[in-house]
Amino acid sequence: MFIVKTIILWIIISTLINAYLMSLPTPVLRKRDYPASYLIQQNNRIDFQDNKECAAFSTAYLLRHFGMEAEGEALYRHFPSKTRTGTVYPKGIRTVLREKGFKTNYYKGNINTLKYEVSKGTPVIVFIKVREGYNNLHFVPVVGYDEEYIYLSESLMHLVNYDDHKSFNRKVPINEFKKLWNIKNIHMLLYSNTYITVDATKMKKLLN
């Protein structure tokens, strides 16, 4: 009984710490209508990172989507919510986007809710594993989907597997993507299937 209470207490403490460092995702499960396939066609360059700057490179990609010139390497130098090892919590991405005038949401959903968000026409930043079976985590913009694949604008050169399209450079089978998206472990019970979105309607009004 003591061991069970200790484990429960540890889970509660870990959740509170993560909520402070990372912010808590909002659960979204309701399925909404969206096209069977969708790809964001807006011109945007894809830059490549050298180390652990995926949060900054993903953020820069989204800023460029809205016509704001940004480079991941420059953003990373002063990126908030950075750990001692150089990785970044999701809260850091939201902080930078908020400072640029964006309203963001951090959701926990499923493939259906992710597709719905992408179909709005704005890249969605997902939190996934770099590779299945590894603990290293990675932020990357989702820019499209169809019935078989999720399409990414990948900032890690060694993960690029498609070079015939300007909008994306990596396509991942949905079943494989689900495995990468499952980042849950004993330290982070609530962060599988999470993603960051931008309220594009409000942002476009601001830019106009």
Nearest to 94 by CA among 51, 65, 142, 62: 62
pLDDT of the residue at 10: 44
Characterize the bridge pairing of strands 194-198 and 170-173.
unpaired
Domains along the chain?
1-205 (3.90.70.10)
Cα within 13 Å of Cα(91), Cβ side: 13
Confidence of residue 17 (pLDDT cuts 50, 70, 90): low
Q: Can you tell me the distance from the alpha carbon of 199 to that of 159, in angstroms, rounded to the nearest whole number?
A: 29
pLDDT top residue among 201 and 109? 109
Nearest to 111 by CA among 183, 179, 201, 25: 179
Q: How many residues does the chain have?
A: 208
Task: Answer yes or no: is pLDDT of 112 > 60.
Answer: yes
User: Is residue 156 a contact partner of residue 61, using CB atoms and an 8 Å limit?
Assistant: no
Q: Rg of the Cα trace of the chain?
A: 17
DSSP string, 128-171: EESSTT---EEEEEEEEE-SSEEEE----GGG----S-SS-SEE
Residue owning tokens 């949060």: 55
For the CA atoms of 165, 141, 98, 119, what is the dihedral angle to 10 degrees?
80
pLDDT of the residue at 3: 63
Q: What is the mean pLDDT of residues 149-164?
A: 95
